[in-house]
């Protein structure tokens, strides 16, 4: 028996996720994480709370406390929130709950690849619409492609380009698409721009957020979805029982209440400093997030130079993004190390 022939046909073309991590790195600026870990005082509080966990019992299945904290923060009803093991899990649940075999989903290119990958993994058909020359949305093409589709996925700010799409284009898509529009606001805390205010009136709108970026909690895998309660209740039908472990719940409850503004400010300051030092020599996309997309001359050579200095970066190899380097804004020391190489000319 050929075991591989038993795969779902759309899974056949997929490859396992490979973060392409440098085995031993000194600086890690490849995954848009936060270069600053959570404050020591919060870490202490977390450890105290973890000591109280009943390790022999299942965690709160509905993450009630965390949802209530997030509801207060975002001024919405807790019934409009569901928590996921990273926002990745929530994208998976959306596709699992709402797409039938061969249903279309629309996503731009370049964008976050998990929309396409999880669509294929769930038997849906990704329809990819190229962004325009400025990496802005081609909203007419998106709306056209979305005829008969179940979802449009839009990362806002977009990853890997870092920009927020134009507001008028976003509004046109949200208002005229006859399907769900998922706005993935993973980098919201850096952009300060959100469509959350439209949630009450636009029933097709779904907002995703994460603790992995501005909240420095990538290791704990916590993301959340905000949407109409009817959508949340469908997601709860496919959500695995106890999807959020007790440690992650405690970590998110306590970090959600920290003031991240000073760290966000430092990162934005560093981003602008890097941008100003680079834009005359390189094509650099104006960013609303905690990373910069930079076009280098020879991607392969540049990656080698970075790795020689122990700097793990994300380099794109093919298609439209060939020779584009995505650089996470890290600590000043990390940024200086990256800038030093770029200033040499790569
Ligand atoms: N959406 C976007 C746009 C992202 O860039 C990422 C992480 N790279 C995610 C979602 C996934 O984040 P999480 O860690 O919450 O799964």
In a domain, 4, yes or no: no
Locate the ligand 1 atom nearest the alpha carbon of residue 111 and give its number.
Answer: 3
- For residue 211, the CA-to-ligand 1 centroid distance in Å is 9
- For residue 88, the CA-to-ligand 1 centroid distance in Å is 6
Question: Rounded mean pLDDT of 109-113?
Answer: 97
Is the domain of 20 the same as that of 134?
no
Is the domain of 242 the same as that of 165?
yes
Q: Which residue among 154, 157, 159, 183 is best mutated to probe the pocket of ligand 1, counting the most ligand atoms within 8 A of its Cβ?
A: 159
In a domain, 1, yes or no: no
The answer for residues whose C-beta is within 8 angstroms of residue 300's C-beta and 6 or more apart is 315
Is the domain of 30 the same as that of 48?
no
pLDDT confidence of residue 298: 96
Is the domain of 186 the same as that of 57?
yes
CATH for 149: 3.40.640.10
Is the domain of 73 the same as that of 84?
yes
- Count how many domains the chain has: 2
In a domain, 27, yes or no: yes
Final residue in a domain of this structure, among 255, 283, 299? 255
- For residue 251, the CA-to-ligand 1 centroid distance in Å is 18
Q: Tell me the residue range of the domain where 316 lies.
A: 9-38+260-344
Final residue in a domain of this structure, among 217, 232, 255? 255
Whether residue 223 has its Cβ less than 6 Å from ligand 1: yes
State the average pLDDT for the chain. 97
Is the domain of 75 the same as that of 177?
yes
Whether residue 162 has its Cβ less than 6 Å from ligand 1: no
**What is the token pair recorded at 186?**
């993973």
Whether residue 306 has its Cβ less than 6 Å from ligand 1: no
User: Which pLDDT tens digit goes with each residue over 10-22?
Assistant: 899 899 988 777 7
Is the domain of 275 the same as that of 226?
no
In a domain, 16, yes or no: yes
Final residue in a domain of this structure, among 202, 230, 255? 255
Cα distances from 306 to residues 5, 22, 285, in angstroms, run 40, 10, 20
- Band of residue 110 on the pLDDT scale cut at 50, 70, 90: very high
Is the domain of 274 the same as that of 168?
no
Is the domain of 190 the same as that of 296?
no
DSSP state of 79: G
pLDDT confidence of residue 20: 78
Is the domain of 31 the same as that of 52?
no
Whether residue 330 has its Cβ less than 6 Å from ligand 1: no
Report whether 129 contacts 123 (CB < 8 A): no
Is the domain of 116 the same as that of 69?
yes
**pTM of this prediction?**
0.97
Whether residue 85 has its Cβ less than 6 Å from ligand 1: no
Is the domain of 245 the same as that of 324?
no
Whether residue 210 has its Cβ less than 6 Å from ligand 1: yes
CATH for 34: 3.90.1150.10
Task: Identify the residue whose C-alpha is closest to ligand 1 atom 13.
Answer: 86
pLDDT confidence of residue 264: 98
| Residue keyed to tokens 């920290």 | 258
Alpha-carbon gap, residue 239 to 67, rounded angstroms? 15
pLDDT confidence of residue 18: 83
Q: Tell which residue, 288, 141, 139, 138, has the closest CA to residue 213.
A: 288
User: Which pLDDT tens digit goes with each residue over 196-241?
Assistant: 999 999 999 999 999 999 999 999 999 999 999 999 999 999 999 9
In a domain, 3, yes or no: no
Whether residue 155 has its Cβ less than 6 Å from ligand 1: yes
Locate the ligand 1 atom nearest the alpha carbon of residue 112 and give its number.
Answer: 3
Q: Tell which residue, 190, 212, 160, has the closest CA to residue 270.
A: 190
Buried b (16+ CB within 10 A) or exposed e, 307-325: beeebbbbbbeeeebebbb
In a domain, 331, yes or no: yes
């Amino acid at each position: 028996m050929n075991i591989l022939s038993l795969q779902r046909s759309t899974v056949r073309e997929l490859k396992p996720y490979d973060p392409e991590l440098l085995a031993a790195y000194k600086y890690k600026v490849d995954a848009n994480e936060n270069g600053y870990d959570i404050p020591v005082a919060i870490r202490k509080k977390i450890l105290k709370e973890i000591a109280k966990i009943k390790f022999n019992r299942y965690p709160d299945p509905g993450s009630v406390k965390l949802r209530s904290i997030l509801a207060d923060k975002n001024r919405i009803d807790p019934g409009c929130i569901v928590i996921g093991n990273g926002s990745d899990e929530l994208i998976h649940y959306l596709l699992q709950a709402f797409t039938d075999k061969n249903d279309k989903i629309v996503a731009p290119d370049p964008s976050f690849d998990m929309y396409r990958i999880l669509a294929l993994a769930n038997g849906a058909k990704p329809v990819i619409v190229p962004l325009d020359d400025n990496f802005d949305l081609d909203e007419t093409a998106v709306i056209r492609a979305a005829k008969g589709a179940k979802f449009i996925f839009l990362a806002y700010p977009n990853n890997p380009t870092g920009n927020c799409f134009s507001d008028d284009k976003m509004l046109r898509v949200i208002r005229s698409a006859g399907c769900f529009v998922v706005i993935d606001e993973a980098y919201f805390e850096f952009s300060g721009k959100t469509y959350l205010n439209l949630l009450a009136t636009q029933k097709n709108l779904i907002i995703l957020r994460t603790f992995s970026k501005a909240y420095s909690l990538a290791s704990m895998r916590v993301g959340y979805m905000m949407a109409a309660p009817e959508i949340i209740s469908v997601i709860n039908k496919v959500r695995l029982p106890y999807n959020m472990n007790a440690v992650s719940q405690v970590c998110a409850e306590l970090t959600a209440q920290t003031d991240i503004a000073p760290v966000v400010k430092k990162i934005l300051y560093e981003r602008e400093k890097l941008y100003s030092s680079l834009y005359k020599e390189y094509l650099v996309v104006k960013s609303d997030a905690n990373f910069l997309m930079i076009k280098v001359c020879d991607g392969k050579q540049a990656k080698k130079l970075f790795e020689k200095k122990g700097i793990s970066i994300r380099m794109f190899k093919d298609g439209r993004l060939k020779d584009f380097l995505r650089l996470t804004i890290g600590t000043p020391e990390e940024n200086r190390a990256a800038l030093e190489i770029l200033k040499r000319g790569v």
